[in-house]
A = this chain, B = another copy of it.
Amino acid sequence: MTKVGFVGLGNMGGPMAKNLLQQGFELKGYDIVPQLLDEAVKLGAVACDSAKDAATDVDVFISMLPASKHVQNLYLGDEGVLSCLQPETLVIDCSTIAPTVSQEVSSAAKKIGIAMIDAPVSGGVGGAVAGTLTFIVGGGSAPLEQARPLLEAMGSNIFHAGESGAGQVAKVCNNMLLSVLMAGTAEALQLGVDNGLDPAVLSEIMRKSSGGNWALEVYNPYPGVMDGVPASREYEGGFLVDLMIKDLGLAMESALAVGASTPMGALARNLYVNHSKEGHGRSDFSSIQQVYNKSDA
């Protein structure tokens, strides 16, 4: 029986831990928020007093935290778990963080003989609950194969992007492109509507033509065109604008670090920041459609 330590039991980590428990993994967990820990315990997890406790005497250690600084602190801080992890423990960090931080932590782990992979996810809370997340993995092939049964318990797609940090880079690139697609799709739809087209007809034409993309396929941002998407429920739920802004911040940092040119991604970030400043930070990111709508319509 594989013993798993899990730190970070929030919106994403909670359901991920639940899926591991339901697939028969033995799991001990920790979160700084006691209620979150309590919920995990109800599902069968063993409660830990600290991250270090959760990292002790386990086969696999998984973290799912909000941002780079939390991951740095968890592994490298004064109470960092690297000091108590055993060499045979596999470490999986599922947080979406700066690739450089991911590399810094995995490099520190490697120095003391611990294998670590970065495995940021896409699919949102819905995917976490359903166990259909996509994992984009950076790190060696051996630890990835070792991790595969656990990743398959939590998700349905696993990509191997390259060495340590590559999972983060690939996710950041994908989400930057996603922000560009979504803003571009919303903009094209509104341009058509303002010139007299029916958004459903235009959506269908572009979907089957060279404008085809993921948003038109399954996540149409125009209200009333597609059922069951955030646009059909006033942009509630889904992937929040402020989380897209976080990912676009990581993309901008990755661009600055290598001197890359990212005019489209940079503009998308600023459109999203402006949208958030207008009060839409907690709406789904397809609500960028509202930026383009006529105010007097």
Q: Which A residues are within 8 Å of any B CB, using their own CB? A: 99, 122, 134, 136, 157, 159-163, 165-166, 169-170, 172-178, 180-181, 183-185, 187-192, 194-198, 201-202, 204-206, 208-214, 217, 219, 245, 249, 251-271, 273-274, 276-279, 291-295
Contacts and interface: CB of A to CB of B under 8 A. Distances in A.
Nearest to A124: B210
A187 B261 CA distance: 7
A183 B274 CA distance: 13
A162 B196 contact: yes
Given A202-B170, A251-B191, A211 B178 contact: yes
A277 B265 contact: no
Contacts of A157: 208-209
A260 B191 contact: yes
A256 B249 contact: yes
Contact of A267 (B176, B202, B254, B266): B266
A177 B295 contact: no
A180 B177 contact: no
A191 to B, nearest CB: 5
Given A197-B170, A258-B195, A264-B268, A211 B277 contact: no
6 contacts: A159-B204, A162-B201, A180-B181, A253-B253, A264-B264, A277-B295
5 nearest A-B residue pairs (beta carbon)? A180-B184, A213-B213, A177-B211, A263-B270, A266-B266
A196 B210 contact: no
Residue from the set A198, A252, A253 with the largest chain B CB neighbour count within 10 Å: A252
